[in-house]
Amino acid sequence: MPVNPPAQDLTAILANIQRQLQEQQQEMTLIREQLAQQNQGPRVQEVPPPAQPVPPAVPPVQPIPPVAPQVPNIPPVAQPEVRQEIPRNAEVPVAPAEVQMQPQPVREDLLYERFRRMKAPEFEGPIDPIAADNWLIDMQVILDFMRLTEQEKVLCASFALKKDARHWWITVQMRRNVLTMSWRDFVDEFRAMYYNKEVLAAQQDELTSFTQGSMTVMEAVKKFEQLARLCPNLITNETEKVRLMMKMFRTDIARQVSAGNSPPVTVSDCIEIALRAEYWINRDKEARAQFCQSKKEEKALAKTNQSRQSTEAKPQAQASTPNAQGPRQPGKNKRKGNFNNQGQQRNFPQKRNNQGNERNKNTITCSPGYTRRSIDCPG
């Protein structure tokens, strides 16, 4: 009977198999790293992998009887980090440095084209603080939108000056260097010219005495805001502004705005109530105007109908009256029986049915200009 060889230790066999698996995993890891380096950027001189020890020959495993072995839980073994040594003479690729672009100065022709497309308003230079303030506000909005430098703002704003304003700018160029002028300096020069004390004093007087008149509420509010913007020393708070605005409105509108237990406190509330009051006042005026117009039309129509009826009644009256047909002929419309045998008319006076002439029957004329009763006459 043959004798079986002694069974090897099961733990040693499992440890040997695990070592082989780890070596294969290391080889696969190296292969992946080499492939990744080949796919990335410039190639670096390849370093040959270290020589791996040849694993010893595994003896043949004898068949194990069918016994359920108890395999212990083996913790994972940390894989050693593989470092690739780069020779000193190898060229290491360097990332290109970022080149900072310096801002180039804007050419004047390009700046002119941009400014021209904005359709900026021109200023001709009348001594009118309201017009000057409106132009300055519009120009400030355009220049801020274009995102220009201080000197470019001055250059564009000076280009929009025309006529008298252009002559004023020439005098400014003669006494200071405008190439280094800031936008704040330009605004100060502009206001010193067109916001003088005499004109501002006149604007203050106009603000205190300004009334709505025949303007609408929105037109009056716009004018009021322009005057108030030029006179900030007169309007120090919201209450003072509401007071001046109430004084500006017409009496019929101001009466409705101030009516009620809670008069307006802010300017927006005052304007809102004034607009509603103006709407209903205009509606009332339109209703009264339509009523008066309808009455006039009714009177004109009644007069036309009356004249038409009188015109139609005249032919009927003429047809019923025989003497109304044509002109009057001699010998007609005379009393009957006043003709002689030859057909000639007798010269007998016709009788008159006038009771007021009874007194004249008893009077006679004795001499021209003298008349007396017949009973008083002796003859």
**Tens digit of each residue's pLDDT (9 = 90 or more) over 327-378:** 555 555 555 555 555 555 555 555 555 555 555 555 555 555 555 555 555 5
Residue after which a domain boundary falls, among 226, 259, 282 = 282
CA distance linking residue 292 with residue 197, whole number of Å: 52
Assess whether 218 and 275 both reside in one domain. Answer: yes
**Same domain for 183 and 218:** no
**Which pLDDT belongs to residue 51?**
57
pLDDT value at 379 more than 50: no
Mean pLDDT, residues 297-302: 87
Question: Which residue type, as a one-letter code, is found at position 33?
Answer: E
Q: What residues have CB less than 8 Å from 151, skipping those under 6 apart?
A: 179, 180, 181, 182
Joined tokens for residue 339: 């003709």
Same domain membership, residue 183 and residue 228: no
Contact 129, 194 (CB under 8 A): yes
DSSP structure class, residue 214: T
Residues constituting the chain: 379
pLDDT per position as a tens digit, 223-279: 898 888 877 777 888 888 888 889 999 988 988 888 877 788 888 889 999 999 899
Whether 370 maps to a domain, the answer reads no
Report the chain's mean pLDDT, rounded to a whole number: 74
173 and 209 belong to one structural domain: no
Q: Which residues fall within 8 angstroms of residue 82, CB to CB, at 6 or more apart?
A: 26, 29, 30, 33
Residues 159 and 218 in one domain: no
Amino acid letter for position 373: R
pLDDT at 114 over 80: yes
Task: Provide the whole-model pTM.
Answer: 0.41
Same domain, 209 and 188: no
* Residue 168 counted as domain residue: yes
Q: Are residues 189 and 203 in the same domain?
A: no
Number of domains in the chain: 2
Rounded-to-10 torsion of CA 192, 198, 203, 208: 140
225 within some domain: yes
- Residue 154 domain-assigned (yes or no): yes
Model confidence pLDDT, tens digit, residues 161-205: 999 999 999 999 999 898 889 999 999 899 888 887 777 788 788
262 within some domain? yes
- The answer to the question of residue 172 being in a domain is yes
271 within domain boundaries: yes
Same domain (yes/no): 134, 163: yes
**When comparing pLDDT for 323 and 123, which is higher?**
123
- Pick from 145, 173, 195: which residue ends a domain? 195
Domain that holds residue 245: 199-282
Which of 248, 282, 316 is the last residue in one of the domains?
282
Q: How far is it, in rounded angstroms, from Cα 130 to Cα 231? A: 11
Q: Do 184 and 203 fall within a single domain? A: no
203 falls within a domain: yes
Give the DSSP letter string of 288-309: HHHHHHHHHHHHHHHHHHHHHH
The pLDDT of residue 143: 92
Residue 298 confidence (pLDDT) above 60: yes
- pLDDT on residue 82: 46
In this prediction, residue 140 carries a pLDDT of 92
Question: Both 190 and 254 in a single domain?
Answer: no
Query: What's the confidence (pLDDT) of residue 172?
Result: 92
Residue 30 CB contacts under 8 Å (≥ 6 apart), including other chains: 49, 82
137 with 206, same domain: the answer is no
Q: 113: which 2 tokens? A: 């084209």
